[in-house]
Amino acid sequence: MRLIVAVVVVWLLIGVVAVFQRGYLGSSSNSCAHVGTVAVTIVAGPLNYVGVNPKIDCKVAVPQPSK
């Protein structure tokens, strides 16, 4: 059980390193797409270093007021 927890923690730490290296936390964008891209990059972990470049594109449908 400890081995699994250790692997998951190391996996996520590698993802955080990838986020910093790509400069995602340096920008001030708080859009859905930016937050999603950061989250997916962290979860992808070491896969970032074998060519995975996850990007999220959010299209939020905001309700329009009635006329």
Convert the chain into a string of H (helix), E (strand) and C (coil): CHHHHHHHHHHHHHHHHHHHHHCCCCCCCCCHHHHHHHHHHHHHHHHHHHCCCCCCCCCCCCCCCCC
Average pLDDT, the chain: 82
Residue-wise pLDDT for 35-60, tens only, equals 888 888 888 888 888 887 777 777 65
| Per-residue model confidence (pLDDT) at position 61 | 59
The pTM is what? 0.72
Question: Per the domain annotation, does 54 fall within a domain?
Answer: no
Question: Per the domain annotation, does 66 fall within a domain?
Answer: no
C-alpha torsion 52→44→39→64, nearest 10:
60
More confident residue, 48 or 12: 12
The residue segments making up the domain with residue 25 are 2-49
Question: Per the domain annotation, does 36 fall within a domain?
Answer: yes
pLDDT band at 25 (very low <50, low <70, confident <90, very high): confident
Domain count, the chain: 1
Q: Does 64 have pLDDT greater than 70? A: no
Question: Per the domain annotation, does 62 fall within a domain?
Answer: no
